[in-house]
Structure 1
Amino acid sequence: MPHRIVIVGGGAGGLELAVRLGKKLGKQKKIHITLVDASRTHLWKPLLHQVAAGTLDSHADEREYFSLARSNYFDFRLGRMDGLNRAQKEIYLAPTITEDDEELLPRQALPYDTLVLALGSQTNDFGTLGAREHCIMLDSLPAAERFHKKLVNCCLRAQTQSMSSGEGRFTVTIIGGGATGVELAAELHMTTKILSSYGLINFHPEKDLKIVIIDAAPRLLQMLPERLSAAVAKELRSIAVEVHTNEKVASVSKDGVTMVSGKFIPSGIVVWAAGIKAPEFLQQLDGLESNHINQLIVNRQLQSSRDTAIFALGDCCCCPQAEGLPAVPPRAQSAHQQASMLAKSLERMLQGKPLLEFQYKDHGSLVSLGNYSTVGSLMGALSSGSIIIEGTIAKWMYWSLHKQHQIAVNGLFHTWLSTWAETIDRVRNPRIKLH
């Protein structure tokens, strides 16, 4: 029987690992690879803010796992992992329920020889009162689509109501001044300006919609140099986005957001985009070691600290770097690098060779403000320090990050074709999704 590798999680890291192993070893029937995910389709997570704003139609960018599995020599299993038996080397998948509350798939057990957990992360509300009940957590495609529908409904309502800058003004409050929050704010402003040109003559973006960002840190975008952070804040304020830094959220209600300082912001929609944690069930997963945000503790070979047959990558793991450095940051580039290394490492393991050690290379950060600006800091590749980039060059580099992921998953030729299709769709379709 071929060696069975089960990968749980079809995000950037998990899917790239499945594709790499499938092309290299699955095609030759040397191993049997199974990818497990609770969704039927894959969407690159950094695009969620564009789906929420309506500037990206998710259906145009989604890829079917079953189709990817067929063309890349691995199997796909639909299901949500909720348990593990390390002694029997089995994972357990919860029953899959349809929208009509009917059982589509029963509870399943899936055996493995090597298990790779690539479950990603979810929003961490830090136990803030009312956050779960009254915020949209922008960490999944359904959440992004739900936000977009609420936004369009708000604009349609404004079309038929006399709204002013007083009490009737609709406010979208974004909690979190990291890349997701900042990018969402800029995309929202652009979306509402475009919406007003599609026959919503009574809807005035500046008058009828207010966008607010709240962050507990002293400045936005802590991962960027201070000069770039200040430039982004200035750009946001120039398009009437209200920025509140050094403000910690105390509670969220159906009426708005209350800060620890006592300040209250009335809000129609509240988006939580601050902080991450791994899925809750990882904290009690058959004795595996985890940290305070549920991430599995792994060594530099990405092996679980308590089971050498279990690996983890991406946001759901806490991986050490060299002595004196913090753990590998939970970023898309980390998952991409770990998937690439682990594909080579698992092949070596099957050949009886020692595993490779993961070495994180920080290539910097890029933040897009829609059509307004793109800024970033590049590290390592071009110099011993960092290089600040802005404008057109930064826009092209931001665009290329998505293309690199598409090439890793779909191959160069398919990515080339889909890029041309995207170009044609921009001419044929509205600039934003209107439903």
Structure 2
Amino acid sequence: MQPQQIVIVGGGVAGLEVATALGRRSARAGRTMAVTLVDRDSAHVWKPMLHTIAAGTRDVSQQQTTFLAQARDAGFTYQPGELAGLDRATRELRIAPLHAPDGRLLVPARRLAYDALVLAIGSEANDFGTPGVAAHCFKIDSRLQADAFNREVRLRMLQCLAQDETLSIGIVGGGATGVELAAELVQLAQAAVAYGAQGLPARLSITLIESGPRLLAAFPQDISAATQARLEALGVRVRTATRVTEATADGFTLADGGQVTASLKVWAAGVKAPGLLARLDGLEASHANQLLVHPSLQTTRDPRIFAIGDCASLTLPGNQRPLPPTAQVAHQQAQHLIRHLPGWLRGDKIPAFSYRDFGALVSLGDYDAFGSLGKFGLFKGLTIRGRLAQLSHALLYRSHQARLFGFWRGGLLWLVDRLNTRLRAPIRLD
């Protein structure tokens, strides 16, 4: 009997957890399922950690999970490449050819057959068509983008020290990514002083721009206010109710005609799914390119195709808005498919997904952290800060590692990280 073909596109929080769990389950059951993970990158980094990779306060080589190694350990197959299209009639997806940086063809275009297709390709920042963003701004939606920004910010810091200049950084977007990146950049500059970068903090100017009336709109008001006060105490200039109309080589043009000078620019505002999803063989998508799904997480026009995480749009009964594109939602949807997809392949129905809002956390590096405990649990609605919030933020990452590697190996990775904080530089220096 041929194993059922499960293809998962996207190795983020949701996709890699599904591939890992189903690969292990299939191995224990005698290979009743053939699980394949497709991703254009070669390694996974927990998305809520990307801002630390971008700032260089964590080393990407220590925090990434290579897909080939995970595939070997968990019993699934990894296929490098990017989704290029879909043929629902023949149940095949098209994978774009893979080229080397110099243009050489490495892997030709190919097709993969599936019995069940799980789309988990995540999201990206939404520039809303703002002129100049694509040409002048960095984004940190992926491991490669975060690493590219880190290389550039280290070069710019070296340049400003050597030429006795000021480095001005502008960040658009007052959500968790923008807020956390601003704090990590302050931490980078202060830590660099111990390695000879005397005067760097005084030469660094960071401006955080938010179009809404406050930072962290998804958090309670008190957390927004406390976060802004803490950032300003660290020297970050915060501008709320400020809309950017254009990005230029010298900075940002504002709707009121003003300017924000920034030699290094980051766009971290808005969220949308990749545009390909809106053109994927007739599947129904939202204005933000997210695939519309039923509560079973099956797409509205094809029950064999599932969408989870940031690339899916699900409005639960009684709600007016879709679930937010967060790692918490992605994880819970991944766990739902892990529990029910094998049964669906045998003919069972998938029950409706139910979401539990356990709150949200934002970390300002080593300086502070804030959290809201959400709508479930004994302490629902409570807000926390300081060491407790920092520990809670760390535990989210460690629980993700435990799901990928198992409890004991995940614990060893935590121990290695703790040892590295004692033995290695706190910032990336290579």
TM-score band (shorter)?
over 0.9
- Aligned twin of 2:39: 37
How big is each residue's C-alpha offset from its partner over 1:123-151, in whole Å with a ceiling of 9 and x where there is no partner? 11000010111000111122211211221
For residue 27 of structure 1, report the CA deviation from its aligned partner: 3.4
Instruction: For 1:427, give the aligned amino acid.
Output: R
2:184 pairs with 1:187: yes
Question: Whole-Å Cα distance in 1 between the matches of residues 12 and 366 of structure 2?
Answer: 27
For residue 384 of structure 1, report the CA deviation from its aligned partner: 7.2
The number of aligned residues is 428
Aligned with 1:205 (options 201, 204, 224): 201
The TM-score, its normalising length taken from structure 2, stands at 0.97
Question: Whole-Å Cα distance in 1 between the matches of residues 32 and 319 of structure 2?
Answer: 40
How big is each residue's C-alpha offset from its partner over 1:313-342, in whole Å with a ceiling of 9 and x where there is no partner? 000010121223421111000010000001
Q: Is the contact between residue 228 and residue 375 of structure 1 (CA under 8 Å) also seen in structure 2?
A: yes
Any residues of structure 2 matched to 1:285-434 within 5 Å, and which? 285-383=280-378, 385-434=380-429
Q: Is the contact between residue 57 and residue 427 of structure 2 (CA under 8 Å) also seen in structure 1?
A: yes
For residue 75 of structure 1, report the CA deviation from its aligned partner: 0.9
For residue 159 of structure 1, report the CA deviation from its aligned partner: 2.2
Instruction: For 2:50, give the aligned amino acid.
Output: L
Aligned with 2:48 (options 43, 46, 49): 46
How big is each residue's C-alpha offset from its partner over 1:145-198, in whole Å with a ceiling of 9 and x where there is no partner? 1211221112212222233xxxxx221000000000000000100110111221
* Structure 2 unaligned residues grouped into runs of 5+: none
The TM-score, its normalising length taken from structure 1, stands at 0.96
Instruction: For 1:266, give the aligned amino acid.
Output: T
- Aligned twin of 1:23: 24
Q: Is the contact between residue 273 and residue 310 of structure 2 (CA under 8 Å) also seen in structure 1?
A: yes
Q: Give % identity.
A: 39
Aligned with 1:71 (options 47, 50, 73): 73
* Structure 1 unaligned residues grouped into runs of 5+: 164-168
Question: Whole-Å Cα distance in 1 between the matches of residues 97 and 252 of structure 2?
Answer: 37
For residue 381 of structure 1, report the CA deviation from its aligned partner: 3.7
Q: Is the contact between residue 373 and residue 379 of structure 2 (CA under 8 Å) also seen in structure 1?
A: no
Question: Whole-Å Cα distance in 1 between the matches of residues 333 and 319 of structure 2?
Answer: 20
Instruction: For 1:23, give the aligned amino acid.
Output: R
Any residues of structure 2 matched to 1:91-102 within 5 Å, and which? 91-102=93-104
How big is each residue's C-alpha offset from its partner over 1:397-430, in whole Å with a ceiling of 9 and x where there is no partner? 0000000110111111111111111122112211
2:255 pairs with 1:260: yes
How big is each residue's C-alpha offset from its partner over 1:289-322, in whole Å with a ceiling of 9 and x where there is no partner? 0011110010000001000111110000101212
- Aligned twin of 2:8: 7
- Aligned twin of 2:107: 105
- Aligned twin of 1:123: 125
Instruction: For 1:204, give the aligned amino acid.
Output: L
Instruction: Give the aligned CA root-mean-square deviation in angstroms.
Output: 1.2
Q: Secondary structure at the match of 1:277?
A: coil
Q: Secondary structure at the match of 2:179?
A: helix
Question: Whole-Å Cα distance in 1 between the matches of residues 358 and 109 of structure 2?
Answer: 42
Question: Whole-Å Cα distance in 1 between the matches of residues 159 and 274 of structure 2?
Answer: 37
- Aligned twin of 2:141: 139
How big is each residue's C-alpha offset from its partner over 1:353-383, in whole Å with a ceiling of 9 and x where there is no partner? 2112111111101000111100010023433
- Aligned twin of 2:235: 240
Question: Whole-Å Cα distance in 1 between the matches of residues 359 and 197 of structure 2?
Answer: 40
Aligned with 2:155 (options 136, 153, 156): 153
Q: Is the contact between residue 278 and residue 293 of structure 1 (CA under 8 Å) also seen in structure 2?
A: yes
Q: Secondary structure at the match of 1:14?
A: helix
Question: Whole-Å Cα distance in 1 between the matches of residues 301 and 374 of structure 2?
Answer: 34
Instruction: For 1:52, give the aligned amino acid.
Output: A
Question: Whole-Å Cα distance in 2 between the matches of residues 301 and 379 of structure 1?
Answer: 24
Q: Is the contact between residue 157 and residue 167 of structure 2 (CA under 8 Å) also seen in structure 1?
A: no
Q: Secondary structure at the match of 1:101?
A: coil
Q: Is the contact between residue 214 and residue 247 of structure 1 (CA under 8 Å) also seen in structure 2?
A: yes
Instruction: For 2:316, give the aligned amino acid.
Output: Q
- Aligned twin of 2:170: 173
- Aligned twin of 1:166: none
Instruction: For 1:24, give the aligned amino acid.
Output: R
Q: Secondary structure at the match of 1:258?
A: strand
Instruction: For 1:66, give the aligned amino acid.
Output: L
Q: Is the contact between residue 172 and residue 269 of structure 1 (CA under 8 Å) also seen in structure 2?
A: yes
Q: Is the contact between residue 358 and residue 377 of structure 2 (CA under 8 Å) also seen in structure 1?
A: no
Question: Whole-Å Cα distance in 2 between the matches of residues 200 and 247 of structure 1?
Answer: 33
Instruction: For 2:125, give the aligned amino acid.
Output: T
Instruction: For 1:56, give the aligned amino acid.
Output: R
Q: Is the contact between residue 27 and residue 73 of structure 1 (CA under 8 Å) also seen in structure 2?
A: no
Q: Is the contact between residue 211 and residue 242 of structure 1 (CA under 8 Å) also seen in structure 2?
A: yes
